[in-house]
Structure 1
Amino acid sequence: MPPQIPRNLLRAARARAVFQSTRPCHRASPIRFQSTEAVRQTPSEGKPIYNAPPREFTHRKEEKIPSSASTQARRAVASPLKLNTQNLAQLQNVSIPTYNRQGVKQGIVHVGVGGFHRAHLAAYVDTLLEQFNVQDWSICGVDLQPFAAPMRDALKPQDNLYTIIERAAEGSSARVCGAITDYMFAPDNAEAVVAKMAHPDTHIVSMTVTESGYYMNENTHELQIDHPDVAADLAGGQPPRTVFGYLYAAMARRHAAGLRPFTVLSCDNMQKNGDISRDMLVSFARHFNPEVAEWIASNGAFPNSMVDRITPRTNEEDKISLAQQFGVEDAWPVVTEPFHQWVLEDKFVDGRPPFEKAGVQIVPDVHKVEEYEMIKLRLLNGSHSAMGYAGQLAGFNYIHEVIGHPVYRQFIINMMQQEVKPLLPQIPGVSVDDYCNTLLGRFSNPTLKDELPRICLGGSGKIPQFIMPSIAEQIIAGGPLRRLTLVAAAWFRYNNGVDDAGKAFKVDDPMVEELQAHAAQGPMAQLNIKSLFGDDLRNDKRFVAELQTALEGLEKHGAMAMIEKYA
């Protein structure tokens, strides 16, 4: 079920607004959140200190090829080599791992080996293995669902190696990541996956399974025991379907063997992702064995985290470009940006890698993670939603095209500064203005070619997280919300599946049937979906009037005209 605006959100927003109005103001020194600078840690405060020399993820041999030099690069590369261990040393134009991949232990099992994991957690681990001689923390990748079979088929022949293509306006670089030293496909052998998680050498089970993979009822914040996947796992007698089925089975074995629990590390884009992981797993375990459930709750660790790195979908053009420019034939490379950030609660039960050496911001206080997460979700993801839905309606294809249009750019700047920024927490040493400027630069990167359909997919899980909380808090504060409301209206109109020129497009959303059924009843009808919006927003006269005006304007004049009017 997608995230909704809880019934008590307005009351919570009011309490939070009072809290923020009484907290001391801190002078924020100019600082970017985190790019390629190393971060070290003071044990007493846990604050990141940006005084280490600049470093990329890796210092291995690496060539950055300017965009203008692509033709020369093609001439220089004779014939691309298939990526695998045997050919690794022959690759000339990319950074390669020099550590002994067979000599490191797999201390991490990661569930969900998609593009983001391979550009984020795996890249951090690769840096630790390469630069800091870490021996116990390589990754065993795991996919649980049958639809992930293409990833299995891509990684296995490559000995689980893959290429990270980092694209910036001034050029591109490529590195081969060796952090994933084993891969398991659960539909092929579910028992092997459970055994791997339960093994004493596994200290962390991390996961990137998207919001829907947590099976949390957003009304009650409880496990959706009536969901077919969860119900099947609770019935038993067959291989698990959910991540919690696998986690529980492995935890139960460790409990029986007298071992510690492993740390469950969520890398999904949700606030309080660690807390949610704990609550769902403990609830799942209670249906099988209350003793094991209590053992997990009392002895387990579920650190909260904030993750950030824009990672577009890989397409055939990316594979061809990699072969032509860098001489690597990779079945599934990952494309990403130079920027990367990970704010991680220091809450581990069975050891952890020295993540801070690779640039992770380790914080002792869960509230600090929540503050970083709020800033990121409402500014980055909220702006992505604003550009995605209105941009799709106006006929744009890529994020950099949308932010490159002066009218859209001004709209995004004013939405961030006037309607979102006043609601955000103040973090000592962090300049929100600098972060906003960094975002504008990241959005403007033309080499990423971040497609709007990727930004728009799953809107029923995004708008309630990234846009509606700011609207609810502005209602309490009596502040401006016209632009935020226009974003919500653009999403409503987007769900019809037709842009302003009459061109049809696919609405990729788990609730698409319900959304379009309501949309067919009229522009405002989607506001009646209680699982998304509850009652508070639907009953607020100011918001309803603003939404009605925005929807009528989009219908009559189109997205471009309304963005210009509201900018």
Structure 2
Amino acid sequence: MALKLNSTNLSQIAGDQIKVPTYQRGPAVKEGIVHIGVGGFHRAHLAVYVDKLMQNHGVTDYAICGVGLQPFDATMRDILGEQDYLYTVIERSAKGSLANVVGSINSYLFAPDDREAVIAKMAHPDTHIVSLTITESGYYYNENTHELQSEHADIQYDINPANENQPRTTFGFLYAALARRYEKGLKPFTVMSCDNMQKNGSITRHMLESFARLRNPEIAKWIAEEGGFPNAMVDRITPQTSAADKTALATDFSIQDAWPVVTEPFMQWVIEDKFSDGRPDFEKVGVQVVKDVHAVEEFEKHKLRLLNGSHSAIGYPGQLAGFKYVHEVMEHPVSRKFVWQMMQDEVKPHLPDIPGVNIDEYCQTLIERFSNPTIMDQLPRVCLNASGKIPQFIMPSIAEAIWDSGPFRRLCFVAAAWFRYINGVDDKGNTFQVEDPMREELQAKARAGGTEPHELLSIKNLFGDDLRNDERFLKTITTAMQDIARDGILKSMPKYVD
């Protein structure tokens, strides 16, 4: 019989196959990290590293207080609360499954319940780091101008002094808490982005400083001079949890967990050593902490363009073709060749050399990870919020190919597949849900443009003039769009494989 996951049942759950936290939790520890955006990736990545620090190295002052800002976070609040903030990480590979109960999340605050409580928590002297997994759209970052989307209604609301204690956005909360720390003479906490964005720390810094200047230039200056915003590269494939995953956990490990996390054995985190108010010894649990920001940027570039760019090459064509899972796409021989050749011929030539890193071996590792059938990585997860992904994962490689007169037809095919995907109809006429914060604008542009790219390329905060004005690019992507519209993905893709 499966035991409900909670503190009372931990001793009965523990066994040879299941690791459980044996360290102190609750009021006995300090919550040095406040994390905004407690989803699957955070619980499979940062929270696992912190769990290892607490379990293996006796760390007691960097437990995590989770924070949810959005109405949909109420489910996470309820489930974690009922389980004493415990959850299970299931690692799956060809060798089998492992289950570990993680206890590094010590509490959870739901901002719509009490926004003041969130601000006060961040402002508390025990808080040294506020970490983020808020997805690309949560940064209000204009990809074209590289500036804060200050005209956005939510930002406009938060920069109104009358709303300082009732913010809506991450930057509203960060500013309100930092302003209190400034008034109390405390150091600013480190703001640590764990999102898949190149230069994520630098972007976070620029967006927050821009926000703060709209409120109080003096506090903005203090943040600029004293704040810590480390750049980081994060990596671990974390599919959405399914009902079957919960059932398997109960059957195989006798644990009843309402929201476990399924992931792969592989995990990586490279982070710049740029913290403003202390940090735990992340190095002790396998984190690559580097002094040189350029080292992080090079790792980021490899990961974002090879892993995430390949995810785009799998996701949008795959969903249009009617596949459900990443590994199914990789089992299709033409799709597998397409992904490999895109990485090798069109992405790799524009990547920096990193001492000790063999790009070909890295590419092969990615192919193996994508092909892992046990984690059942769903294509809709990979396709989420593409307006924040394609401009980072695909378009920079195209832009550099334009500058170097290099090949980019496969990259254009991926972009064309996304343009087709925006319509929400696959090659067999089946409809699917497009989840993107810009969905309405994207779909209106896609309908207006048909098999021509100009309407979508006119969205200035996604695409720059280097793309809109290049004849070779326009011809190549238009051809790809027309191929896909006429023949579908599986019949048109062979033209793009050597």
Q: For each residue in 1:34-69, what CA deviation from the matched residue of structure 2 results, as whole angstroms up to 9, or x when unmatched?
A: xxxxxxxxxxxxxxxxxxxxxxxxxxxxxxxxxxxx
* 1:94 and 2:24 are equivalent in the alignment: no
Specify which structure has the bigger relative contact order, considering alpha-carbon pairs within 8 angstroms and separated by 6 or more residues. 1
Find the aligned partners of 1:222 and 1:487 in 2 and give their Cα distance.
27
Amino acid of the structure 1 residue aligned with 2:36:
V
* 1:209 and 2:117 are equivalent in the alignment: no
* 1:337 and 2:267 are equivalent in the alignment: no
- In structure 2, what is the equivalent of residue 557 of structure 1? 487
C-alpha displacement of 1:204: 0.8
Find the aligned partners of 1:145 and 1:557 in 2 and give their Cα distance.
41
Amino acid of the structure 1 residue aligned with 2:156:
A
Find the aligned partners of 2:132 and 2:461 in 1 and give their Cα distance.
26
Q: RMSD of aligned C-alpha atoms?
A: 1.2
Q: For each residue in 1:314-335, what CA deviation from the matched residue of structure 2 results, as whole angstroms up to 9, or x when unmatched?
A: 1211111111111111111111
214-223 or 464-473, larger mean C-alpha shift: 214-223
277-286 or 323-332, larger mean C-alpha shift: 277-286
Q: For each residue in 1:515-541, what CA deviation from the matched residue of structure 2 results, as whole angstroms up to 9, or x when unmatched?
A: 221222221132333332232212211
Find the aligned partners of 1:217 and 1:546 in 2 and give their Cα distance.
26
- In structure 1, what is the equivalent of residue 4 of structure 2? 82
- In structure 1, what is the equivalent of residue 243 of structure 2? 316
* 1:501 and 2:428 are equivalent in the alignment: yes
Amino acid of the structure 1 residue aligned with 2:466:
D
Whether the 8 Å CA contact 2:144–2:460 is kept in 1: the answer is no
Superposed, 1:481-496 pairs within 5 Å as 481-496=408-423
Superposed, 1:81-230 pairs within 5 Å as 81-91=3-13, 92=15, 93-102=17-26, 103-230=28-155
- In structure 2, what is the equivalent of residue 384 of structure 1? 311
Find the aligned partners of 2:459 and 2:180 in 1 and give their Cα distance.
42
Give the counterpart of 1:538 among 468, 472, 477.
Answer: 468
C-alpha displacement of 1:431: 0.6
Find the aligned partners of 2:458 and 2:9 in 1 and give their Cα distance.
58
Whether the 8 Å CA contact 2:144–2:463 is kept in 1: the answer is no
Superposed, 1:140-539 pairs within 5 Å as 140-238=65-163, 239-521=166-448, 522-524=450-452, 525-539=455-469
C-alpha displacement of 1:489: 0.9
C-alpha displacement of 1:145: 1.6
Find the aligned partners of 1:419 and 1:291 in 2 and give their Cα distance.
46
Amino acid of the structure 2 residue aligned with 1:523:
T
SS of equivalent to 1:376: helix
C-alpha displacement of 1:499: 1.1
Find the aligned partners of 1:222 and 1:480 in 2 and give their Cα distance.
30
Q: For each residue in 1:184-240, what CA deviation from the matched residue of structure 2 results, as whole angstroms up to 9, or x when unmatched?
A: 111111111111111111111111111111112333322222211111111243411
TM-score, scaled relative to structure 2: 0.96
Find the aligned partners of 2:170 and 2:423 in 1 and give their Cα distance.
33
Find the aligned partners of 2:148 and 2:458 in 1 and give their Cα distance.
24
SS of equivalent to 2:259: coil
Find the aligned partners of 1:494 and 1:288 in 2 and give their Cα distance.
40
Whether the 8 Å CA contact 2:51–2:104 is kept in 1: the answer is yes
C-alpha displacement of 1:268: 0.8
Unmatched runs of 5 consecutive residues or more in structure 2: none
Superposed, 1:6-45 pairs within 5 Å as none
SS of equivalent to 1:106: coil
Q: Count residues in correspondence.
A: 489
C-alpha displacement of 1:141: 0.9
C-alpha displacement of 1:241: 0.4
* 1:566 and 2:492 are equivalent in the alignment: no
Whether the 8 Å CA contact 2:53–2:284 is kept in 1: the answer is yes
C-alpha displacement of 1:476: 1.4
Find the aligned partners of 1:218 and 1:472 in 2 and give their Cα distance.
14
- Identity among equivalent positions (%) equals 65
Find the aligned partners of 1:299 and 1:197 in 2 and give their Cα distance.
16
Whether the 8 Å CA contact 2:145–2:461 is kept in 1: the answer is no
Amino acid of the structure 1 residue aligned with 2:473:
F
Q: For each residue in 1:297-322, what CA deviation from the matched residue of structure 2 results, as whole angstroms up to 9, or x when unmatched?
A: 11111101010100111121111111
C-alpha displacement of 1:287: 2.3
Find the aligned partners of 1:527 and 1:264 in 2 and give their Cα distance.
33
- In structure 2, what is the equivalent of residue 49 of structure 1? none
TM-score, scaled relative to structure 1: 0.85
C-alpha displacement of 1:497: 1.4
Find the aligned partners of 1:247 and 1:513 in 2 and give their Cα distance.
29
Find the aligned partners of 2:389 and 2:142 in 1 and give their Cα distance.
16
Q: For each residue in 1:109-136, what CA deviation from the matched residue of structure 2 results, as whole angstroms up to 9, or x when unmatched?
A: 1111111101000000000111111221
Find the aligned partners of 2:215 and 2:480 in 1 and give their Cα distance.
50
Whether the 8 Å CA contact 2:142–2:462 is kept in 1: the answer is no
Find the aligned partners of 2:478 and 2:396 in 1 and give their Cα distance.
19
Whether the 8 Å CA contact 2:323–2:329 is kept in 1: the answer is yes
Amino acid of the structure 2 residue aligned with 1:555:
A
SS of equivalent to 2:465: coil
User: Residue 529 and residue 284 in structure 1: after superposition, are their counterparts in 2 closer, same or farther (change >3 A)?
Assistant: closer
- In structure 2, what is the equivalent of residue 15 of structure 1? none
Unmatched runs of 5 consecutive residues or more in structure 1: 1-78
User: Residue 223 and residue 529 in structure 1: after superposition, are their counterparts in 2 closer, same or farther (change >3 A)?
Assistant: closer
Find the aligned partners of 2:125 and 2:349 in 1 and give their Cα distance.
48
Find the aligned partners of 2:468 and 2:80 in 1 and give their Cα distance.
48
